[in-house]
Amino acid sequence: MQKSLEFVKNLDKIIILAQGPSWYQCPDLVPGREGVEIWGSNVIYRDHAVDRLFFAHDIKGHFFNDDMNFFENLNKIGVPIYTTGIYKPLKNNAQIPIAEILEEFKTGFFLNVISWMLATAILQEPKSIDMYGVDMRPDADMEFFLNEKGSVEFWVGVAMGRGIKIKNTKESFVMKTKQEGNFPGYREKVPQNGLFTLIPKEDRNILAMKKYVITPIGEEY
């Protein structure tokens, strides 16, 4: 049965599924499950089933540059789709609750769709928020990822401040630097091996690195 556009309060868990390399660790849907929803970002629905789908940018770009049947394909998956504006070709479309978010949190720190998803999830007061594919890697060679990382971390902090448990993948750099800090007597430094280490040493220069495509396990070329 297709989910309503209305959000569900007090879920046990909301899973936020983005398109970073760790997305493949997201668990499969369990038929008839209760208390858990998977919220997907952008076109992740092509790789993993979701309960709700979010876009923060103008989705017409996907239509013109990516998929000439984009709106038709979105309608076929039959899940609620949340955007910053309303698109008439979409059958099950609603606006991200921007006004409610701004009223509740008194801030507008949003640099990507994940930030909007986190703020929307916090409003629903789940017990926990799990994240997959929200990697925000500093070695991704894209400046906007570095800028967006702070926005995601801000909303993770808001969630934690409201008593919502946060779980993320080991590969993610959200709330981390390139190495997790050493806390003497409490926890040793945890090394984080980024994508850079997967590239042969003889090829570790800027031009060569840009030609590499790192794919999840099981999707190697």
CA gap 59, 113 in Å, rounded: 12
Indicate whether 39 pLDDT > 90: yes
Looking at residue 58, its pLDDT comes to 81
Distances (CA, A) of 75 to 2, 4, 52, 185: 11, 14, 12, 54
Q: Give a yes or no: residue 210 inside a domain.
A: no
Count of structural domains within the chain? 1
Q: Give a yes or no: residue 70 inside a domain.
A: yes
Q: What pLDDT band is residue 217 in, cutting at 50, 70 and 90?
A: very low
Of 53-57, 93-97, 104-108, 216-220, give the lowest mean pLDDT range: 216-220
Q: Give a yes or no: residue 109 inside a domain.
A: yes
| Nearest C-alpha neighbor of 5 from the set 155, 120, 166 | 120
Q: Give a yes or no: residue 185 inside a domain.
A: yes
Share of the chain above pLDDT 90, in %: 51
Indicate whether 180 pLDDT > 60: yes
Greater pLDDT, 103 or 179 = 103
Indicate whether 123 pLDDT > 70: yes
Q: Give a yes or no: residue 187 inside a domain.
A: yes
Indicate whether 75 pLDDT > 50: yes
Q: Give a yes or no: residue 158 inside a domain.
A: yes
Contact in structure between 51 and 166 (CB atoms under 8 Å): no
